Amino acid sequence: MVLAQLGGSISRAIQQMSNATIIDEKVLNECLNEITRALLQSDVQFKLVRDMQTNIKKIVNLDDLAAGHNKRRIIQQAIFNELCKMLDPGKPSFTPKKGKTSVIMFVGLQGSGKTTTCTKYAYYHQKKGWKPALVCADTFRAGAFDQLKQNATKAKIPFYGSYTESDPVRIAVEGVDRFKKENCDLIIVDTSGRHKQEAALFEEMRQVSEATKPDLVIFVMDSSIGQAAFDQAQAFKQSVAVGAVIVTKMDGHAKGGGALSAVAATKSPVIFIGTGEHMDEFEVFDVKPFVSRLLGMGDWSGFMDKIHEVVPMDQQPELLQKLSEGNFTLRIMYEQFQNILKMGPIGQVFSMLPGFSSELMPKGREKESQAKIKRYMTMMDSMTNEELDSSNPKLMTDSRIMRIARGSGRQVGEVMEMLEEYKRLAKIWSKLKGLKIPKKGEMSALSRNMNAQHMSKVLPQQMLKQIGGVGGLQNLMKQMGGNAKDMMGMLGGGDR
Ligand SMILES: Nc1nc2c(ncn2[C@@H]2O[C@H](COP(=O)(O)OP(=O)(O)OP(=O)(O)O)[C@@H](O)[C@H]2O)c(=O)[nH]1
C-alpha cells in the first residue's frame, strides 16, 4: 500500500465513523481497527501500531466525555496527534549553520539512494547560498565515484574521491581536510553501501566516523524496505550515532510506512524525503504538514512555501495580490499550470493546493494529470485576452466554446470540462478574498492574519458544522493559543 492509499484508508475510516449517528465504543473500535489494518499493510511496525491504538483509546474515553463535547473532533484530533507523535522523536536533529563548517556523513544499504541523496542534500543547500562539497568514501562499489562525480559536476559542487585509493578512511579524511581548508561549510561524506547489513560495512562506517568526527550522521532508507525498516534502522543506529533519517523513493509504489518505523528505531527525525530521481526532487520533511497531507487534509504552509519556490520572484507579489482579492481568472490558472509543469513532479505541489489535490490530480496518476493540464492549456491558448483576464463566466457563450474547441482541435465537452474545473477552483479561491498573504519567510504572519472568519471560509462546511460553526471555531482557536497555522494543518483547512 502506498502512503497515499494509507492516507485514503485512514480518512475513509474517520469519515465512516463520522457518518454514524452515535459514536459509541463499537464505532470507535471499528474505526481504530480499520486504521490499524491500514498502518500494518503499509509496513508500520506492529508494536508502534498497537501502542497507537492503546493511546487513542486512553485519550478518547467515550464514557468520560461530557455530553455536548464533539466526540468526532476529539477522535480525529487524537488520531492526528498520535500519527504526529509516531513521526516525531521529540528532539530535533543537529542543524548545520551556514558559514560554519559541518561534516555530514551519509550511511545506508546499497541502492537505498544514498549517493543520489548526498547530491540532492548538497544541491538543496547550495541553492540557499551554502558552500557544500562532496567526498566519495565509497570504495566498495565500482562506479560509485563516477556517479558522485557526475552528479556533483552537474550541480557544480566541488567533490573529492579516488580511482586508485582503496582505503575509505583515508579518502574521507583527505577530502574533509581539503574542503575545511577551502572553507566549505557543508562537507558531505558518502560511505559504502552493501547488499545487506554485514559486519564489514559497519566496521568500515565506524572507522570513517571515528576519523572524520561528523557533526551529523544521516541514515538513508529506501521507503520500499517494508517491515525490515525497523531492524535495519536499529542496526545502523547501534553502530554509528545516527542523528537523522532521509527516506527516499517516496514517489514510487513503496509502502512508505517504514519511515514511521525508522523514526522509532533510530529515535531520530526524518529531515527530508526523496521524491524522484532528479536533483530537486527532494522535500524538507515536516511532521504536521506531512500527516495533514497523509490524511488528505491539504497543507497550507507547505503550499505557501511552494508558491515562493515555484512561482518566479517577479510574479509573486502580483499573484498573491490577485489571490487575496479573490480574483481567480483563467489566466491565473494558465500561469499556475505553466509554473507547475516547469517544476516537473507536479504531484508535490498539487497535494498542497486546496482543491487541486484530489479531483484534478489524483495521487499516483500524475502522468495522466500532467497530460490533462497540457490539454487544458492548449484550449486556453485558443481564448482571447479578454476571456483569459475576466472572471465573468458569461463571456463563455456556446459559440465561443465551440470556437475554442475548433481552434484547439478538442471536443466541446473537453472545453466545458476545463471551464468546470476553472469554476471549481475559482470558487475555492474566492473564499480567500481578503486574506492577507504573507511575504517570503513570514509564515507566522499567516497565523496572525488568519482569524476565525477567514478560517471558517476555507474549512470544509461539514467540518465547520462539527466544530460548532464560527463560534465553536473561535473557542477552539482560543484553546489552541490562536495558532491558526497549526489549526489549519490539523483540520485540513482549504481542502474542500
Ligand atoms: N524514484 C526515485 N529514485 C531514486 C530516489 N533516490 C534515488 N533513486 C534512484 O535509486 C537508485 C540507487 O541510487 P544510488 O544513489 O545509486 O544508491 P546508493 O545507495 O548510493 O547505492 P550504493 O552507492 O551502491 O550504496 C538510482 O537509480 C537513483 O536514481 C528517489 O527519491 N526516487
Q: How far is the CA of 496 from the centre of ligand 1 (A)?
A: 36
Q: Return d(Cα 449, Cα 454) in angstroms, integer.
A: 9
CA 276 – ligand 1 centroid, Å: 9
Return the percent helix, strand and coil in the chain, to nearest 5. 60, 10, 30
3-state secondary structure of 220: strand
pTM equals 0.63
Q: Residue 206: its pLDDT value, please?
A: 93
Pocket lining: 120 vs ligand 1, CB cutoff 6 Å: no
Alpha-carbon gap, residue 487 to 333, rounded angstroms: 27
* Distance from C-alpha of 248 to C-alpha of 237, rounded to nearest angstrom: 18
Distance in angstroms (rounded) separating the CA atoms of residues 319 and 346: 19
Alpha-carbon span 239 to 201, nearest angstrom? 10
- pLDDT truncated to tens, each residue of the chain (496 aa)? 345 566 667 777 877 776 777 777 888 888 889 888 888 877 777 888 888 888 888 877 776 655 555 666 677 778 778 888 888 888 888 999 999 999 999 999 888 999 999 999 999 999 989 999 999 998 887 788 888 899 999 889 999 998 888 899 999 999 999 999 999 999 999 998 877 667 888 899 999 999 999 999 999 998 877 777 888 888 899 889 999 999 898 876 555 667 777 887 888 999 998 988 888 888 888 887 777 666 655 444 555 555 555 555 566 566 666 666 667 788 888 877 776 666 544 445 444 444 444 445 555 566 777 788 889 999 999 999 889 988 777 788 889 999 999 999 999 999 998 998 888 777 766 665 555 444 444 433 344 344 555 555 555 454 455 455 666 556 555 544 444 444 444 333 333 2
What pLDDT shows up at residue 394?
79
Ligand 1 pocket residue status of 274, Cβ below 6 Å: yes
Q: Are 300 and 487 in contact (CB under 8 A)?
A: no
With a 6 Å cutoff on the Cβ, whether 111 touches ligand 1 is yes
pLDDT (0 to 100) of residue 158? 96
User: What is the C-alpha to C-alpha distance for residues 290 and 286, in angstroms, rounded to an integer?
Assistant: 6
Output the CA–CA distances (angstroms, integers) from residue 39 to 11, 21, 32, 227, 461, in the order listed: 12, 26, 10, 11, 28
CA atoms within 13 A on the CB side of 367: 2
* Gap from CA of 225 to ligand 1 centroid (Å): 13
Measure 275 CA to ligand 1 centroid, in angstroms. Answer: 11
Give the whole-angstrom CA distance, residue 398 versus residue 365: 31
- Ligand 1 atom with the smallest distance to the CA of 110 is 25
Report whether residue 110 contacts ligand 1, using a CB cutoff of 6 Å.
yes
Nearest ligand 1 atom, CA 275: 31
pLDDT score at 344? 47
Q: How far apart are the first and last CA of the chain?
A: 25
Long-range contacts of 153-157 (CB under 8 A, 24+ apart): 154/279, 155/119, 155/122, 155/123, 155/126, 155/279, 156/126, 157/119, 157/122, 157/123, 157/126, 157/132, 157/133
CA 288 to chain centre: 10
Q: Is the CB of 256 under 6 A from ligand 1?
A: no
How many angstroms separate the CA atoms of 34 and 40, rounded? Answer: 10
Eight-class DSSP state of 355: T
- Alpha carbon distance 326, 409 (integer Å): 32
Widest Cα–Cα separation across the chain: 75
Look at residue 343 in the predicted model and tell me its pLDDT.
54
Cα distances (angstroms) measured from residue 162 to each of 20, 158, 174, 194? 65, 14, 10, 19
249 lines ligand 1 (CB under 6 A): yes
Q: Whose CA is nearest to atom 11 of ligand 1?
A: 113
pLDDT of residue 481: 40
Per-residue pLDDT at 114: 93
Q: Is the CB of 277 under 6 A from ligand 1?
A: yes
- Ligand 1 atom with minimal separation from the 141 CA: 24
Prediction ipTM score: 0.96
The response to whether residue 141 sits with its C-beta less than 6 Å from ligand 1 reads yes
- HSE toward the beta carbon, residue 460, CA cutoff 13 A: 14
CA dist list (Å): 19 to 26, 29, 39, 377, 467: 14, 15, 22, 39, 15
For residue 111, report the distance from its CA to the centre of ligand 1, in Å: 5
Coil, strand or helix at 249? coil
Compute, in angstroms, the gap from residue 3 CA to the centroid of ligand 1: 19
Residue 328 CA to residue 64 CA, distance in Å, equals: 47
Ligand 1 neighbour 248 (Cβ under 6 A): yes
